[in-house]
Structure formats: C-alpha cells, structure tokens
Amino acid sequence: MEFMVDDEYELYTAMEDQPETFTIDSDQKADWALKVIKQETEESERLLRIADEHIAQINTQKEQITQSLENRTRYLKSLLHQYFMTVPHKETKTQEQYKLLDGSLVFKKPSFKMAPDREKLLAYVKANNLHDFVKIKEDVDWAAYKKECEIVDGKVVNVQTGDMLPEDIITVEEDPGEFVVKF
C-alpha cells in the first residue's frame, strides 16, 4: 500500500476496516497517526464539552423545579404544622406523628451528637490518666522497610540480611508498562 498524505481519510478508513493490512513503518506514517489521534481526541473533547453544557442545563432545571416545588408547598406545610400542634398525636423518644389517609404529619425531635476533636480529646484523656481509653496502633514503617528490600527474580529480598520474604507476606505485583501518546 503506497502511503500518501492526501489519501489520509481512505487510509484511515482502510485501517479501521482491515487493521492487519496497515502498518506504521516510517516517521511520516507515525506522524500521520499522531495527527489522527490528536484530531479524534479534540473531537471527543468538543463533544464532551457539549455534553457537560447539557448536563449543567439539566441540573439548573432540576434546581429550578425543586425550588418551585418548595415555594409552592411552603405555605401548605406551615398550615399543616399549625394543625399538627392542635391535634393529639403519637409521641416516641425521637418523633411525634399524626397519621392521615394520604400520609403522616411527623415532627422529628431535635437530637444531639458528639463530635470530638480527636487530638484535643487524646491530650485530655492522657493528661487525666484515663489510659483505658487510649488505643495504641502498632504498624510497620513500610516506607523505611521498603528501602531495605529489592525484587530479585520475582521475589522480595531483604538486602541487609539476604533473607527472602515469603510471598504471603509481600507479594510482587507487576505494574504493566503503558504506551502514551503526548502532544
């Protein structure tokens, strides 16, 4: 197959239909391939920008619908709350409820939860000799120990001791190389 820059589209189409018939064996063909990849990437990015704009418009419409619903029902909810306060209703530890045929009027009671500042709480517990409430987490300093190890023939070896570490302690995972085209 004779390669000519003017016949790029036909070549590209032929390459897609019969990928085994086209090879890149020259700088000119490689440069052409980069050009096609760049064009395809730019086109995809353009389409993705359009899609993002549509998504933004739809999200804006969703927010408007939600706001409109809130505006239209706020008054009725306030009237229902006033009514709720005048009728006898079931009360539990966490809420009060009045059942109707088409739903329930529910008042969820305020609740409180604790949100500690962990560092300050730890200092307080230590300062007050409350050691039963201190957790001590033991862990390997992997960053330091890793410097002592090398991979030799697919096995992890401690270079200081010469010991080979069992595979169930440290496994060797291959990070396959990646071919990247940069522009």
* CA torsion, ordered 151, 154, 160, 165, to nearest 10 deg: 130
CA 20 to chain centre: 38
Give the distance between the most distant pair of CA atoms in the chain. 90
For residue 177, what pLDDT is reported? Answer: 84
What confidence tens digit (pLDDT) does each residue in 31-54 have?
999 999 999 999 999 999 999 999
Identify the pLDDT of residue 2.
Answer: 47
6 pLDDT more than 60: no
- Residue 182 has a pLDDT of 74
pLDDT at 14 (0 to 100): 56
Question: For residue 9, what pLDDT is reported?
Answer: 55
Residue with the bigger pLDDT between 22 and 142: it is: 142
Per-residue confidence band for 67, with pLDDT thresholds at 50, 70 and 90: very high
Q: Is the pLDDT of residue 71 over 90?
A: yes
Query: Are 96 and 107 within 8 A, CB to CB?
Result: yes
